A = this chain, B = another copy of it.
Amino acid sequence: MTESGQAALEERKRRAAQWFAELRDRLCAAFEAIEDEYTGAPGRSPGRFQRKTWKRPTPDGADGGGGTMSLMKGRVFEKVGVNFSTVYGRFEAQYASEIPGAQDDPSYWASGISLVAHMHNPRVPTAHFNTRHIVTARTWFGGGGDLTPMLAVQRTREHPNSIRFHDAFRRACDAHGADYYERFARWCDEYFYIKHRNEPRGVGGIFFDYLDNDWEKDFAFTRDVGRAFLEAYPSIVRATMYEPWSTDEKDEQLVRRGRYVEFNLVYDRGTKFGLMTGGNTEAILMSLPPEARWP
């Protein structure tokens, strides 16, 4: 790569990482605002995110990047984790073979944001969101968001929560590619599927990966996907957080969370990527629910 090509690449990496950090700040602020305005738990004070930074250890003690976990245990959000990380190094030989552009040179750089929210009220769906930029011999964006209602009655594409969630992503997709929504919504359904249970994790959303059409356009799309989640999920939380719920619904939530654990530990590529690249275990497993049941 030429010197100016290298400089341009570095500038892109800087801009992508900066966006992910900025989006993290906006999401945390949006969730804290919900904690502030909630009047349904008068005895409890509004939750606040606690941040904790970590460095990725490397075999030779070289700089391998790191990240910042933001974790909040609030009165609406029972446990919500937002991870921002920028890591770099070389893939292990075994893992490199699975990564585009890493066969000849296993060097990589990856920055991203990932979020999972588990809610006190079983009527409020769990949500996951993630976007990332990866650089090997190739560069690409990936990510998406998916909604996991805890209750069977909410687990349809026709439920108002599902419609609101999908509509936000559809608008983000339609502004960037005529076939994006259809392709990425289908990819999401295929990806977030619990094979051994023969059931979807939730009601979908979008999932995309290896997006490398045009860097500026792909980056703009990735930002719009983040904004779509920022618009949709807080509105779903506000629309449902005052709904009264029964102990049967709480039980149903805890069993559904068990399925969430199964998906994340058995199938999730982000979890696998993190554990295989020596990522921070506490950050990777922040996605697990505060409590789950297998009765």
Interface residues of A, Cβ cutoff 8 Å to B: 79, 195-197, 254, 258, 261-262, 265-266, 275, 281, 284-285, 288-295
Contact of A258 among B254, B262, B288 (CB under 8 A): B288
Q: Most chain-B CB neighbours within 10 Å: which of A254, A281, A284, A292?
A: A292
Q: Smallest distance from the beta carbon of A97 to chain B beta carbons, Å?
A: 15
Contact between chains at B285 and A289 (CB < 8 Å): no
In the assembled complex, 9 residue pairs joining A and B whose CB atoms fall closer than 8 Å, in A order, are: A79-B294, A196-B284, A261-B261, A261-B292, A265-B266, A266-B275, A291-B291, A291-B292, A291-B294
B265 near A285: Cβ-Cβ < 8 Å: no
Cβ-defined partner of A196 (8 Å) among B281, B294, B295: B281
Residues of B within 8 A of A195 (CB): 275
Cα separation A275 to B265 with both chains bound (whole Å): 14
Partner of A291, one of B265, B281, B293: B293
A290 to B285, Cβ gap below 8 A? Answer: no
Known A-B contacts A197-B281, A265-B265, A285-B262; A292 and B295 likewise in contact (beta carbons under 8 Å): no
A285 neighbours in B (Cβ, 8 Å): 196, 262, 294
Q: Tell me, in angstroms, the Cα distance from A285 to B291 when the chains sit together.
A: 17
| A-B pairs with lowest CB-CB distance, top 3 | A265-B265, A288-B294, A196-B281
Residue of B nearest to A73 (CB): B295
Contact (Cβ within 8 A) A196 B275: yes
